[in-house]
Chains A and B, each alone.
Chain A
Amino acid sequence: MSNNAIYAEMNLPNGGRRDIFMTHAVAISTFIKANKIKPVQMEVLQSRIPASAIATKEIKSSKKVAPSAKAAAPVAMTAMAMSTAESAAMIPWLINGGMKVPHLHYKGEIYLLSDKQWADFSAQVLGEFRQKLASVKSVGFNQLLDLSDAMNDIQ
């Protein structure tokens, strides 16, 4: 099934979705079902406050953020906190687009995650990558290049 079939185009407030949501579409589907995560209402995402403002506020007020991470990575809003319109209006946005809270896109919907849920999902992504690292090949210094007929030169 193509990515487009799995994931329908949608008119996101900030543009198209990012690759991670296409690459891991199957994993996302499984994850949101297993964790019973409901999609967020699109209209609550329309308000924007500069990420910098939220970032500063969240960093300084949060007791969950480790001191070492405070200046570097503002804490994400929890899904529970996002349930009210007031909280939802406080979503920080990256200046290149994208919500700076853990979330997943799937089939035209957006699913907000808690910190723990994001950590669990990230661990899955990294776990998949770890398997790919296990099958790394290398081009050796004493290996002749295998130039196939597929190589195109300029005529």
Chain B
Amino acid sequence: MKFTLAITLSCNLACPYCYIDKADGAMSLSTARRIIDFAFERGGSSNEKIEIGFFGGEPLLKFDLMREITSMIIGHPSYDKERVMLSVTTNGTIFSPEIADFLIRNNVIPCVSCDGPPDIQNSSRLFAGGRGSSELVEKNLRQILRHFPLTPVNAVFSPSNLKDLPRIVEYLSDIGASNIYLNPNIFGRWTAREAALLPSIYAELGRQYIDFYRQGTPRYISLIDGKIAVILRGGYKPTERCRMGSGEFAFGPSGSVYLCERFIGSDLGGQHCIGNINQGGISRRACQAEVGASVNSPCPDCGILDYCMHWCGCTNFFTAGSYLAVSPFICASERAAIETAFSLLQQMSKEGIDFLHHLAGTPLTNTIQAAMQEDEFQGKGLNSWSKPVT
């Protein structure tokens, strides 16, 4: 179960595709406490992992608040370190030895947003005054990756830089990222022209992916590894699909509960708000997006429906206007990703790479985690996520 806490809507960047409306202020501790109680109450009734993520705005702008809320979580009577996963999504502009130490000691996984090399990063991820953030983010990201080698790095791509996806992957890999998530700008104006380019671009990503394996430095690339695993496993599991409002909740600083962090907006309630934690919790019926039923007429007869993320409610809403309707670009992206993954599976099977890792566990990073554990086994004193602060 996933609980995202947007502890502030303030941010030091002004990215044009951001789905958060910037505002000052922060979540109160009493609100946070009610959210934590809610999370353990909901999560306690199942055997699933409980994922609690700090979000924003930029959550590290409120580092002290984040520390206090983390203490609340770890000190909660229902806290179980084997079941609870903590994370923080950050724009990478704020990092220090103190933050690293806190993240390591409390097992908080950092997730960094970085769109790619300087020309791409500085085209959209700008400080409020218009200055590019690339130099600072790269510097911090290199430090973060030294401490946390498996840090997920999330790159948003837009129609203008779709062709640069291979270059983005190369750049992130070169600075040390091994866990690379590629996500389309859901507010972008995607047309048939971009959709037609996807097969060749994803095929190029596939060639990079194979080369990483052959060089002994495998990279998790979301578009590809996700589909390899799903193909081998026979389709997405129910718990892997969108569970907005039933297994996934996002909280604005006010305590309002939203279906997903992408719907927080200005945290003034609204269409995607299903209640307020300070006023009795969930008060509206949860969205049915987790059912996974697509209302696009071609979908039910599609042979790869079970392997397609047609059920991502927030992506569907912003790209097609409905939680349950898939946009043509997302459909094209899913098809291209699945076909690329299948092609890779066949090719790499011939080379003796059996992808056993992809059959077990999520996330699909056993290969990379095994490499990290190898360091630990050889007495280098590392754990799978972090290294001691020096």
Residues of A within 8 A of B (CB): 18-20, 22-24, 50-53, 55-56, 64-66, 68-73, 75-76, 94-98, 100-102, 115, 118-119, 122-123, 125-126, 129-141, 143, 145-148, 150-155
Contacts and interface: CB of A to CB of B under 8 A. Distances in A.
A122 B287 contact: no
B360 A141 contact: no
Contact of A126 (B287, B298, B342, B369): B342
Contacts of A18: 233, 359-360
Contacts of B321: 145
A96 B374 contact: no
Contact of A96 (B191, B335, B346, B360): B360
A75 B371 CA distance: 15
B63 interface: no
- Categorize the interface residue count of chain B: 35 or more
21 contacts: A18-B359, A19-B237, A24-B234, A51-B370, A52-B370, A53-B377, A69-B214, A72-B216, A73-B367, A95-B366, A96-B360, A101-B356, A126-B346, A133-B338, A136-B335, A145-B321, A145-B325, A147-B295, A150-B324, A152-B285, A154-B285
Contacts of A24: 234
B328 A72 contact: no
A139 B296 contact: yes
Contacts of B106: none
Interface of B: 191-192, 195, 213-218, 231-235, 237, 245, 259, 271-272, 274, 284-285, 287-288, 293, 295-299, 301-304, 307, 320-328, 331-332, 335, 338-339, 342, 345-346, 349, 351-357, 359-362, 366-367, 369-371, 373-374, 376-377, 384
Contacts of A136: 302-304, 335
A154 B361 contact: no
Given A19-B233, A24-B234, A138 B351 contact: no
Given A94-B366, A132-B304, 6 more contacts: A19-B237, A94-B356, A137-B302, A138-B335, A139-B326, A151-B325
Given A145-B322, A147-B322, A139 B351 contact: no
B47 to A, nearest CB: 10
Main secondary structure, interface of A, reads loop
Nearest to B233: A19
Contacts of B323: 151, 153
Given A122-B354, A131-B303, A138-B298, A154 B274 contact: yes
B373 A133 contact: no
Contact of A135 (B214, B302, B325, B335): B302
B43 to A, nearest CB: 18
Contact of B271 (A64, A96, A154): A154
Contacts of A122: 349, 354
A119 B361 CA distance: 21
A146 B351 contact: no
Given A23-B235, A129-B342, A131-B303, A51 B373 contact: yes
Nearest to A18: B359
Of A23, A70, A136, chain B has the most CB atoms within 10 Å of the CB of A136
B331 A50 contact: no
B369 A154 contact: no
A133 B304 contact: yes
Contact of A141 (B192, B233, B346, B384): B192
B27 to A, nearest CB: 23
Contacts of B355: 73
Nearest to A73: B353
Contact of B359 (A20, A71, A75, A119): A20
A19 to B, nearest CB: 4
A147 B321 CA distance: 11
Given A52-B373, A97-B360, A102 B354 contact: yes
Contacts of B218: 72
Nearest to A16: B47
Contacts of A147: 295, 322, 324-325
Given A143-B328, A154-B271, A98 B298 contact: no
A23 B370 contact: no
Contacts of B233: 18-20, 23
A72 B358 CA distance: 13
Contacts of A70: 216
B284 A155 contact: yes
B168 to A, nearest CB: 22
Contacts of B360: 18, 94, 96-98
Contacts of A56: 374, 377
A150 B352 CA distance: 46
